Amino acid sequence: MKTVLITGASGDVGTHLRRELAGRYKLKLSDLRPLADKAKGEVFAKADISRMADALRITKGVDAIVHLGGYSVEGPWEGILQANIIGCYNMFEAARRNGVKRFLFATSNHAVGFYPRKQKIDHRVYIKPDGRYGVSKVFGEALGSLYSDKYGMEVFLMRIGNVNARPIDKRRLSIVFTPRDLAQLVSIGIDHPKIRFEIVYGVSGNKRSWYDNSNAYRLGYEPQDDSESYAKEILERNEKEHPVGALYQGGAFTHVESVPNPAPLPKK
C-alpha cells in the first residue's frame, strides 16, 4: 500500500479527500492548523511549508504527494507569497531531495480565469490568471514543468474547479467537482504508470463545463457526477452576478481584491 502525503489536510478539500481515500493508501497528513478528527490509521504532522526544514521533514518516506496546502483564495500578497510561492517551491524541492517521484499539485481554474465563459478551453491554452491567487497557481504549474523536465519528477497538475457535493450557484454548475470524482482523479494521478507531466481539469462531468477535459479522459478518468440535475433549481433563483465577473470563468476573482478566507490560520 502506497504512502501518500496530503498537505492542507485540515481544509475542506483535504477533509473530503481523506474520507474518500481511506483504506486505499497509507495517509500521512499535514497542515499548519491542527487536525481535530484524525481517523484510525492516519498520521498527522503539523508543518509550516514556508519553512524548508518543515517541508523536508514531512516529505520523507512517502511514495506520492498531493499538495493542497496554501492560501486558498484571492487575498493579500504577503499571505499568498509565503504559502503559495515560497511554500510551493519548498514542497517541490523537498520532494526532489527526498526522492519522491510522484507529485500531484492542486492548481486552480483561477490560473485560466480570464477566459470568457462562452469559450471552451483545454489543457493547452495559454495561462490567463484572474488575480494574485491565480498567478501563484501558474507559478506552481511552472515549477511542475521544471521539476518534471529537469529532475524527472512525475507531475500531475489538477486545475480544480469547486469541490462540493453539489453546485451552490450558476457559476458552479460549470465547475463543481464532487468528492468521489476528486478521489477518482487523484487516484489516477497517484497510480497511473505513465504520468510524466500532465495538466487536467478537476471538474465532474458537467454538461455546462467550460473545459475540454479530454486529457483526463485519456488517462482513464470517468466522472460519476453531473451538476445538471441541480440546474433548474439554481437558475430559478435568478441570482445577479457582477457584470464583469459574469463574463469570465473566474467569476468574482476577476474584479475583487480579496474574498473571505474559508480556512484562516489560528490566532497566535
CATH of the domain at 228: 3.40.50.720
Domain count, the chain: 1
Half-sphere exposure of 161 (CA within 13 A, CB side): 32
Domain contains 266: no
Q: Which residues form the domain of 230?
A: 3-254
How does pLDDT run across 68-110, given as a tens digit for each residue? 999 999 999 999 999 999 999 999 999 999 999 999 999 999 9
Residue 264 lies inside a defined structural domain of this protein:
no
Please report whether residue 263 resides in a domain. no
Identify whether the C-beta of residue 103 lies closer than 8 Å to the C-beta of residue 88. no
pLDDT at 268 over 80: no
- Residue 98 in domain: yes
- pLDDT tens digits for 179-208? 999 999 999 999 999 999 999 999 999 999
Residue 262 located in a structural domain:
no
Q: Which three cell numbers stand for residue 58?
A: 514531512
Distance CA 254, CA 262 (A): 19
Q: Could you tell me if residue 261 is inside a domain? A: no
State mean pLDDT over 204-218: 98
**Is residue 144 included in any domain, yes or no?**
yes
* Position 152 in a domain: yes
Query: Hey, how many other C-beta atoms are within 10 angstroms of the C-beta on 165?
Result: 11
- Amino acid letter for position 251: G
pLDDT at 44 over 70: yes
Residues annotated as part of the active site: 133
Dist CA 139 CA 40 (whole Å): 35
What is the per-residue pLDDT across 128-141, written as a single tens digit (0 to 9) for each? Answer: 999 999 999 999 99
Confidence bin at 262 (pLDDT 50/70/90): confident
Query: pLDDT band at residue 265, thresholds of 50, 70 and 90?
Result: low
Predicted pLDDT of residue 261: 82
Cut 0.85: pTM above it:
yes
Neighbours of 232 (CB within 10 A): 8
Q: In this predicted structure, what is the pLDDT of residue 99?
A: 98
